[in-house]
Amino acid sequence: MMFRMKRESWGSRLGFILAVSGSAIGLANIWRFPHLVGQYGGAAFVLVYLIFLILLGFPLLVGEISIGRNTSKSPAASFRQLGGKGWGAVGGLTIITGFIVSGFYSAVAGWIVGYLFESLQGNLTNFTTVTEAKEYFEGWMSSPWKTLGAQALFLGMATLILFYGVRKGIERANKILMPLLFFLLFFLFVYGLSLPRSNEAMKFLWNPDWTALTPAAILAALGQAFFTLSLGQGTMVTYGSYTPKSENLIFSCLPIVVMDTIVSLVAAGTIFTILFSVGSEGESGEALLFHTLPFVFSEIPFGFLFAPLFFLLVMLAALTSEVSALEPTVAFLMDRFGWSRKKAVAAAAAGAFLIGVPCALSPNVLSHIQPFGHSILSGLVTLGSDILIPIGGLSAALLIGWRWKGKRFIEEVSTGSKELFHKTKWLKPYLIFCVKFIAPVLIGIVLIQAFVT
């Protein structure tokens, strides 16, 4: 039984753009993208990445948002309405995916919250080697109270935002947090340009090295273009359900992709100018954020100031993404059971915390548990990011292109933008061809790569 409650909606186009951008801009932009650019040929990698954004990222972003706007329902109900009874389970899987992501994401983001407090106390700028920084991080991670407490604090912030709803919570928070994130990022980027060897860092990043553009590099660019926009996990369908029919989806989605790309590129420039100033090219992920950068902040001028600013920046990116990962579950509980928003948020946050607990404890008291040779955290990350998210994205592409049909998809997208489609004749065939043919093939490649590796 579905409960028909009055659907909340975005208060403005800017609010919608910032909220969706907040979902897209997350740890992958700062955690993974700079390393990929540096490893796989700089500007050569970026060019391939942009091509995949055009062929896959942007069309599927428009597609998922159009699904939600057409039905004004959660992903499970949206998929069922457009595809039939069996498709409801597929839409439900995308909600489960976002729920799992919100669980392990909260554990990892908790580390960032913990290191923000460590940096504010001046504990991250006294290292003389990367090994010292690594040992300090391992010591911090060995405490279950620190990892659990930081996870709970992070989830508490996300819960508070969600309690206030779409306009007063998600939209208002992103109108504050996203400009603050942009300001901090560009401030750190300008500082990085002032450091020694910044010219070398920029040349390293942006001079194309075509010899580094291997098949592995192309696959990495494809994966990044898909994952960076929070596709396949119910978020964009849910955010689309809050979007009014008068909204021009093309004009709204384009700046989202542009902002996500700019943040990724500026983050790469920021991190590499800082790393090059002490003669390091750095690593990715955990090693970059918690080993290499604390050592670098110990070496550069005013590192005691820039360390907390950097971890605040990363925390903001993680927070807006966590909110978006939880919202599909919240919307589903409200639609399916008629729960109030606060009850649905409390249930979703509690569930995410329970999923995140073994992830937060996997570096310490649960470190002996290694299913299939992986920690609990890495196992859930693999399940969610490498398998379930691509399945969700592939399902959305097949629903739009083959079940809902391209004609009805375009009718929905052109609502609010008929003049644009009338003037831009290539837009309709571009969207249909990409969603119907190119997206399934490319996402299939992502899935095959995941199972192979």
User: Residue 283's pLDDT is what?
Assistant: 62
User: Residue 405's pLDDT is what?
Assistant: 83
Q: What is the mean pLDDT of residues 288-316?
A: 92
- Assess whether pLDDT exceeds 70 at residue 281: no
User: Residue 279's pLDDT is what?
Assistant: 81
Residue with tokens 């994130």: 181
| Nearest residue to 102 via CA among 146, 29, 155 | 155
Contact 395, 444 (CB under 8 A): no
Contact 285, 79 (CB under 8 A): no
φ, ψ of residue 425 in degrees (nearest 5): -65, -30
pLDDT by residue (tens digit) across 135-176?
Answer: 999 999 999 999 999 999 999 999 999 999 999 999 999 999
Contact 341, 330 (CB under 8 A): yes
The CATH code that applies to domain 16-237+247-452 is 1.10.4160
Residues 205 and 201: their CA atoms lie apart, in Å, by 6
* CA 413 to mean position of chain CA atoms: 24
Give the CA radius of gyration of the chain. 21
Q: What angle, rounded to 10 degrees, do the helices at 198-206 and 172-193 form? A: 110
- b/e sequence 178-217, b meaning 16+ C-beta within 10 Å: beebbebbeebbebbeebebbeebbebbbeeeeeebeeeb
Q: What is the mean pLDDT of residues 282-296?
A: 81
Going by the DSSP 8-state scheme, the letter that residue 300 receives in this structure is: S
Q: What is the mean pLDDT of residues 206-212?
A: 90
Q: What is the mean pLDDT of residues 107-112?
A: 96
pLDDT by residue (tens digit) across 323-350?
Answer: 999 999 999 999 999 999 999 999 999 9
Global pTM value: 0.95
CA-to-CA dists, residue 181 to 187, 267, 311, 315, angstroms? 10, 11, 11, 9
User: Residue 407's pLDDT is what?
Assistant: 85
pLDDT by residue (tens digit) across 226-239?
Answer: 999 999 999 999 99
Q: What is the mean pLDDT of residues 53-75?
A: 96
- Assess whether pLDDT exceeds 70 at residue 4: no
Domain extent listing, the chain: 16-237+247-452
Q: What is the mean pLDDT of residues 103-115?
A: 96
- pLDDT-derived band at 259 (thresholds 50, 70, 90) equals very high
Query: Who has greater pLDDT, 169 or 288?
Result: 169
Mean pLDDT, rounded, of the chain: 93
* Two tokens, residue 97: 């995916």
What is the SS3 assignment for 343? helix
| Nearest residue to 112 via CA among 145, 142, 153 | 153
Residue 101 burial (10 A CB sphere; 0-12, 13-18, 19+): buried
| Nearest residue to 16 via CA among 198, 285, 238 | 238
Q: What is the mean pLDDT of residues 217-231?
A: 93
- Assess whether pLDDT exceeds 70 at residue 3: no
pLDDT by residue (tens digit) across 373-412?
Answer: 889 999 999 999 999 999 999 999 999 999 998 889 999 9
- Assess whether pLDDT exceeds 80 at residue 453: no
